[in-house]
A and B are shown apart, each in its own frame.
Chain A
Amino acid sequence: MMRGRALPYLLVAPAFVFLAVLFCVPLVQTIALAFQTGTGFGLGNFVQMAEDLNFNDAVVNTFRLVGVAVPLQMLAALGMAVMLGHLRAGRDLVLWIWTIPLGLSDLAAGLVWLALLNDQGYLNTVLFHLGIINGPESWLTYETPMALFAAIVIAEIWRSTAIVMVVLVAGLQLVPKEYAEAASVFGASPWKIFLRVTLPLLKPSIQSALILRTVLAFEAFAVVLAIGGRNFPVLVSEAYTWQHFNQAPAIAAAYAVVVMGISLAATVVYLRVLRTPAAQRA
């Protein structure tokens, strides 16, 4: 009897130990580090972090990036997922091509877009040969903030829309087609069917995709660094700078705690706002 009861715990034990050692311990250490000051515990590191010149830019840039990239890629992913649902032949091929960016590392994706967009990049060359520009143009500097921001948003969207799409494609497959059929019999146009039937029934998947994507977008780092360097500070890149260039791990830890707090808050908001009561599920 004892063995029967203990078995489930024994089975989850390895995962538990793994999480505890590799996740919980560093987490607690990081939080402790963030609140540690010379004399004890306090908010000193956070004050120093907030007084730094780049802090405001990092906060604003991070929220701008999340605020623009996440909605755009949600829309793109929804469109792509619905289009896939209407394909008959070649569906798997299209899905496969669309998910290629998932296989690239963040940094590689950033470097690809850097190669396209820098002053000696492909875009410059093409525009020059077409006679649209007279010589190499720099878009990715602090003098062209809008262009720099646009480039980072595009690269971020290109890199990570596929993961949102995969979640939504899986979600769409869970919605039986009979509901769309019933709606069409009762006079709904394809747009109305999407709005009144597909979208509400897809809400749980949209919620998952949003949480996943928003948390990752708040942690955006390699793509931003590859394209923007220090011209576009975001929270995580600042943490990186404090850790490795300023040799101040406690400030880096404070940044990490801020990012974690924001991600948690965003998750809670999504969980509440996009809640689907059990009674309304498909």
Chain B
Amino acid sequence: MAGIVIDGISKAFGNTVALAALDLAVADREFVALLGPSGCGKTTLLRIIAGLETATTGRVLIGGRDVTNLPPRARGLAMVFQNYAVFPHLRVCDNIAFGLKMARAERTRIDRQVARTAELLQLAPYLDRYPAQLSGGQRQRVAVARALAVEPALLLMDEPLSNLDALLRLDMRAELKDVLREAGTTTIYVTHDQTEAMALADRIAVLHGGRIEQIGSPSAIYHSPATRFVGSFVGSPPMNFLRADAGRLMGIRPEDIDLVDAGAGLPFRVSVVEPLGAQTLLTGTTDGQVVRVALPGEHVIAAGATLFLRPRPDRIRWMDAATGNALAQAAG
């Protein structure tokens, strides 16, 4: 049992408020992604859960036990550090084995786990090397392997794939998801990459300025953003927000806009066309406001053309222009 309850955690560094009275509950075996821009407090929150940083206020419970005042080693978790923190004086195999050795695991189990995780992270050829003899991406994979090797009940990962090249990242993402679900590991996964969060998580918590803006399933975060920030941070390209009547904003995703016959919709002057293969991305203006539209790949459109747009009514998300919060959606 390794559910986590974060209860009113706040953290200030001098005058900087990194976290503001944050609450979050993660169920046993759940995979939660903490998603937010750089500097929003993701690493700080993870370090508080691990016990490496003391919170200014609030409690952390792991498996129902209050661990707020326990040292990291008594919390029974593993962590992948954003800066790897792979021990420079130990070979890759000893790095991976470190946690098991500290736990006085049996030799056979250590060997088995080192081999297994090295295989999973494609590190087998490098087991006898020192970290200084590895690339950044390889070092990062050692950090992941070191955490997986202890088969933790609770795993904290701080941007663990950030330094891998695109193809390997896709590969590793799928492997991680598979392994962690199989093992039933409760996972908190920090990332600033919204696709990664969407692909991996049972639930996503979007952090902004030390607060959770919204927490929910990837689909809820994507289709029903609670705030303007969530809508513009999640999704690539982000959601469009168009000024409407009565202090409202109309939020609409670029792919939820259809082309209609002349005069039947909003006039849209195309300035940039980006054919991406699966999609064709249009950027232009409607009524003086910048709008992005994502069409299925087969459309051929020239820059400078004027098209007519119609947002799908059931996909419109109305927002309060002043507060940036979503409005009751019946008004649409």
A residues apposed to B, CB below 8 Å: 176, 178-179, 181-189, 192, 197, 200-201, 203, 276-282
Q: How far is the CA of A9 from the CA of B201 in the complex (A)?
A: 63
| Residue in A181, A192, A201, A276 whose beta carbon sits within 8 Å of that of B102 in the complex | A192
Closest Cβ–Cβ distance, residue A95 to chain B (whole Å): 24
In-complex Cβ contact of A201 among B78, B86, B89 (8 A): B89
Given contacts A181-B85, A281-B88, contact A187 B132 (CB under 8 A): no
Chain B residues positioned under 8 Å from A192 (CB to CB): 102
B87 to A179, Cβ gap below 8 A?
Answer: yes
Q: A201-B88, A201-B89 are in contact. Are A188 and B133 (CB under 8 A)?
A: no
Contact yes or no, A184 B132, CB < 8 A: no
Task: Name the distance in Å between B4's Cβ and chain A's nearest Cβ.
Answer: 15
Task: Beyond the given A178-B85, A186-B98, please list 12 additional residue pairs across the A-B interface where CB-CB is below 8 A.
Answer: A179-B87, A179-B88, A181-B72, A181-B81, A181-B85, A184-B52, A184-B71, A184-B73, A188-B73, A192-B102, A279-B129, A280-B130
A188:B102 contact, CB within 8 angstroms = yes
Chain A CB count within 10 A is highest, among B73, B86, B98, B103, for B73
Asked if A187 and B130 sit within 8 Å, CB to CB, the answer is: no
A185-B78 contact, Cβ under 8 Å, with A279-B130, A279-B133: yes
B34 within 8 A of A: no
A185-B77 contact, Cβ under 8 Å, with A192-B102, A279-B132, A279-B133: yes
The reply to whether the CB of B79 lies closer than 8 angstroms to some CB of chain A is: yes
Q: List 27 A-B contacts (CB under 8 A).
A: A178-B83, A178-B85, A179-B87, A179-B88, A181-B52, A182-B87, A183-B87, A184-B51, A184-B52, A184-B71, A185-B52, A186-B73, A186-B78, A186-B99, A186-B146, A187-B99, A187-B102, A188-B73, A188-B102, A189-B73, A197-B89, A276-B89, A278-B132, A279-B132, A280-B130, A281-B88, A281-B89
Q: Mark out the residues of chain B between 67 and 111 whose CB falls within 8 Å of any chain A CB in the assembled complex.
A: 71-73, 77-79, 81, 83, 85-89, 98-99, 102-103
Asked if B50 is an interface residue, CB under 8 A from chain A, the answer is yes
B204 on the A face (CB < 8 A): no
Q: Hey, which bits of chain B sit against chain A, CB under 8 A?
A: 50-52, 71-73, 77-79, 81, 83, 85-89, 98-99, 102-103, 129-130, 132-133, 146, 150
Which of B72, B79, B88 gathers most chain A CB within 10 Å? B88
Do A178 and B81 touch (CB < 8 A)? Answer: yes
Contacting residues, chain A, for B132 (C-beta < 8 A) = 278-281
Residues of B within 8 A of A203 (CB): 89
Shortest Cβ gap from A203 to chain B (Å): 8
A280 to B130: give the CA distance in the assembly, Å: 6
Establish whether residues A185 and B89, one from each chain, have CB atoms under 8 Å apart when the complex forms.
no
A185 touches B133 (CB 8 A): no
Q: How far is the CA of A145 from the CA of B100 in the complex (A)?
A: 52
Closest to B102 in A: A187
Instruction: Name which residue of chain B comes closest to A184, CB basis.
Output: B72
Give chain B nearest CB distance to A181 CB in angstroms: 5
A197 to B98, CA, bound (A): 11
How far, in Å, is A195 (CB) from chain B's closest CB?
11
Q: Are B89 and A200 in contact (CB under 8 A)?
A: yes
Contacts of B146 in A (CB 8 A): 186
A74 to chain B, nearest CB (A): 19
* A201 (CB) vs chain B CBs: closest residue: B89
* Chain A residues with CB under 8 A of B129: 279
Give min CB distance, A194 to chain B, whole Å.
13
Docked Cα-Cα span, A182 to B81, in Å, equals 8
- Beyond A279-B130, A279-B132, whether A185 also contacts B50 by CB under 8 A is yes
Residue of A186, A188, A281, A282 ringed by the most chain B CB atoms within 10 A: A186
Chain A CB within 10 A, most for which of B77, B83, B87, B150: B87
With A184-B72, A185-B50, A185-B73 known to touch, is A282 a contact of B85 (CB < 8 Å)?
A: no
A33 to B86, CA, bound (A): 55
- Find B98's partner among A181, A183, A278 (CB 8 Å cutoff): A183
CA distance A282 to B130 in the complex (A): 11
Give the residues in chain A near B77, CB-CB below 8 Å. Answer: 185
On whether the beta carbons of A197 and B99 are closer than 8 Å, the reply is: no
Nearest to B76 among chain A residues (CB) is A187
Inter-chain contacts of B133 with A (CB < 8 A): 279
Query: B155 to chain A: closest CB distance in Å?
Result: 11
B210 to chain A minimum Cβ distance, whole angstroms, is 22
